[in-house]
Structure 1
């Protein structure tokens, strides 16, 4: 595992682990790590399985998906914590697809991960198990008609999760007609607060009619690739020059890494979810809540908070039993820790210091 570190100069510091999402890397935490290290933390941010300079995974579309399932991603994180000589960390923080990994870390090993921060992707809890079925006829699994219904809309659409699960998705982005760098520029712009169309609000249901209200980076036109979708919102040269949260020199790091690796490693995570292959394993934790101190942080202009109807509310009322902070940051879209790092750092430190009061001893194993 390739990791970035801050605060490694002295021993005995409490540890904080930062988990990135898609299509990002450990580098996405570059504006957070120094602030946490300056307050006495040892901060570790890995390139997760399937990303960047971390090795030992297969990018074959027809390869084994099992290594990319959530429980194994938790095992990766646990192995990393142990490799650095910690029996526990003060917090695991996850953004985007790193958010469910962080949530499952908290659910499966609360003894190791003493608090959790989920960013930009609410956690609604584990999948349910059928209940009270002894004297009732067995019911077949419910069919989710959303994909079919989206395609049948007057303006035919498709959900990006299922697009990301197709064989073509990696090549569509890796070999984008506009070039990979410009593809990423448009993708990051489209999901940021810089795109003025990002004015999110709760959806009332998981239905084609409601999902069609989402921007096209979530619910795409049926006949378009993601590269074609975001190209329609490519910022002009003046907007790119004025961008301070992701100047071209920093975007170049992402584009160089993804040009080398492609996107399939990250796309395998989506395929695990859409296939349903590993749902039964996750039902092992049915009805279990996150009981350690938890927080949620997202941009106020981020549709990710609401893309699955009811998840934001379920996280606060059912999935987490000890949620002590829930904040939407003005002026940030989906890339909240890059767009508004000062606000994120303030909230993270506020949360960490509130939770650390209950665990004051050093966390590193001699």
Structure 2
């Protein structure tokens, strides 16, 4: 198991009107940047297994806690968490280090940000590696409106938007239990319980499946969210329809070489139209759930490094 004391110390970097808490590995490899973008409710620490492997392969590994997370800034306005701001932070981070472009890696919501960043700033993205969340096609209806029609008001994306503050408070009252119950693997398949899934997790006495993290690892996440709360991260969800509008006029096709890594037991659906929007994509499937890079760290590292080598990048 990973010892959290081995994780690098962070620095605070002022970018784009906020401060980001940034962790680095392989600074000696200046000139070969790779930026790792966490999801929800995660932390830079979720990339702890990838950082040393990528640094050893010759990369300057840059891992921010994005706005709303860890010791990074947590602006009060909901609209300060839209895709323009989130991608703007990453562009400003490249500028801070003096890089024209970089390979960007995203998991879960981090993947959503990397997809959006690549659409909005294609000249700053060299290659894309995304885990769990495939490219989301921009349909005729805003995303939350569409989800509400199909999945109902209790679906957590919809609930976060339609009942602001409700889930935030429940998760904050039960931070340790929520994260313990969320970070699991090998969960049995079953019908979803009625109600809002994240609130159910925060209130559940008994977790399903097996723990993903050691007690020491879980403590890193719990401590971070006890400090930051959940509202900043949830505000990313509250901008989905705004993002839908912000992306209205961009070219929807991603031309960069892309690696998509799925977990075969992930609740997030695979995309049937990925090749249409990301023509230069390679796909890897791993036998795991949602927390791909933490559940299958060696396999994830191998998949990423092998693909980078095929791109002539290692």
TM-score, scaled to structure 1? 0.73
Choose which of 73, 81, 85 in structure 2 pairs with 1:72: 85
Q: Deviation of residue 197 (structure 1)?
A: 1.6
Which residue in 1 is equivalent to 2:284? 327
Q: 8 Å contact 2:70–2:228 — kept in the other structure?
A: yes
User: CA offsets, 1:160-196, max 9 Å, x none?
Assistant: 10122322110011002xxx2122111122xx3x212
Which residue in 2 is equivalent to 1:170? 168
Q: 8 Å contact 2:38–2:44 — kept in the other structure?
A: yes
5+ residue gaps, structure 2: 1-19
- SS of residue in 2 equivalent to 1:46: strand
**Is the helix fraction higher in 1 or 2?**
2
Choose which of 312, 337, 343 in structure 1 pairs with 2:299: 343
Aligned residues: 293
User: CA offsets, 1:278-299, max 9 Å, x none?
Assistant: 43221011x5300010111121
- Match status 1:184 vs 2:173: no
Q: 8 Å contact 1:124–1:314 — kept in the other structure?
A: no
Choose which of 214, 233, 241 in structure 2 pairs with 1:247: 214
- SS of residue in 1 equivalent to 2:247: helix
Structure 1 14/120 Cα, relative in aligned 2: closer, same or farther at 3 Å? same
Structure 1 53/197 Cα, relative in aligned 2: closer, same or farther at 3 Å? same
Which residue in 1 is equivalent to 2:6? none
Matches within 5 A, 1:229-268: 229=201, 231-232=203-204, 234-235=206-207, 243=211, 245-268=212-235
Q: Deviation of residue 15 (structure 1)?
A: 0.7
- Match status 1:279 vs 2:277: no
Q: Deviation of residue 126 (structure 1)?
A: 4.1
- SS of residue in 2 equivalent to 1:298: strand
Matches within 5 A, 1:141-220: 144=145, 147=148, 158-165=154-161, 166=163, 167-176=165-174, 180-189=175-184, 192=185, 194-197=186-189, 215-216=192-193
Structure 1 42/329 Cα, relative in aligned 2: closer, same or farther at 3 Å? same
Q: 8 Å contact 2:34–2:60 — kept in the other structure?
A: yes
Q: Deviation of residue 13 (structure 1)?
A: 4.0
Distance 2:228 2:143 in 1: 37
Structure 1 345/233 Cα, relative in aligned 2: closer, same or farther at 3 Å? farther
Which residue in 2 is equivalent to 1:44? 62
5+ residue gaps, structure 1: 59-63, 130-140, 152-156, 199-212, 307-311, 361-366
Which residue in 2 is equivalent to 1:363? none
- Match status 1:296 vs 2:294: no
- Match status 1:28 vs 2:52: no
Q: 8 Å contact 1:173–1:263 — kept in the other structure?
A: yes
Matches within 5 A, 1:78-157: 78-89=91-102, 91-127=103-139, 144=145, 147=148
Structure 1 233/118 Cα, relative in aligned 2: closer, same or farther at 3 Å? farther
Structure 1 146/102 Cα, relative in aligned 2: closer, same or farther at 3 Å? closer
